Amino acid sequence: MDFLPQNINDYSEQHTSPESDLLKKLNRDTHVKILQPRMLSGHLQGRYLAEVSYMMRPRRILEIGTYTGYSALCLAEGLVDDGKIITIDVNEELETFTRSFFDESPFADKIDYRIGDAGEIIPTLDEVFDLVFIDADKMNYTKYYNLVFDKVRKGGYILSDNVLWSGKVANVEEGKKIDKDTKNLLDFNKMCHDDPRTENILLPLRDGIMISRKL
């Protein structure tokens, strides 16, 4: 995921507002106690997500892929007073760890944390979302995008994480075999770019975020 030279990344973080004490603890505990800590959004991307939320002042956010809750806590920062974020994850083994940080945060009453298959849960949601953050299994990105699209308000945003896939999508060599995740993300990125219902930008922040604004 590290595309920029380390000194540039360090300089960027040094000139970015710091994490809260709770986010620092979550970051540290995830790296110490949980497998695949690289899945955590982390400081720089987390502050970006928080700033997007502050700018939008959303009433409803949907997150697909909670992991240990770092991004959900960042997104919750900009919610209006009666706002809510619904965050879905299939990994029930992380529930106790993740819920403990939600409960400790000032956003406990704004976070609706659900364990289950997002493909089954999303169709049951009777909500209009201002912002959707997709950060789950890459094989189903297109499925999630299509499931949520009609639930996003006009002018709302769908943010999709990891779309650069450690640079693999930009380093495909003709004639060489492409793994399934990379192929799915190549197809997903093309679909987003070609979707006449949106305007989009692929932001090369961390592992890449596709930003799609619904027209």
Side chain identity at 118, as an amino acid letter? A
Cβ-count burial 177-204 (b if 16+ within 10 Å, e if not)? eeeebbbbbbebbeebeebeebebebee
The one-digit pLDDT tens for each residue of the chain (215 residues) are 667 788 998 999 999 999 999 999 999 999 999 988 888 999 999 999 999 999 999 999 999 999 999 999 999 999 999 999 999 999 999 999 999 999 999 999 999 999 999 999 999 999 999 999 999 999 999 999 999 999 999 999 999 999 999 889 998 877 778 899 999 999 999 999 999 999 999 999 999 999 999 99
Report the chain's C-alpha Rg in angstroms. Answer: 17
Side chain identity at 90, as an amino acid letter? V
Residues 81, 51: Cα–Cα separation, whole Å: 17
Q: Does residue 55 fall inside a structural domain?
A: yes
Q: Are 138 and 210 in contact (CB under 8 A)?
A: no
Helix (H, G, I), strand (E, B) or coil at 100: helix
Q: Does residue 105 fall inside a structural domain?
A: yes
List the alpha helices (DSSP H) in the chain.
6-14, 21-33, 42-56, 70-76, 95-104, 118-121, 141-149, 180-194
Q: Which two tokens stand for residue 110?
A: 């704004």
Q: Which two tokens stand for residue 105?
A: 């945060």
Q: Does residue 1 fall inside a structural domain?
A: no
Looking up residue 52, the CATH number of its domain turns out to be 3.40.50.150
Residue 192: which domain range? 6-214
Number of compact structural domains in the chain: 1
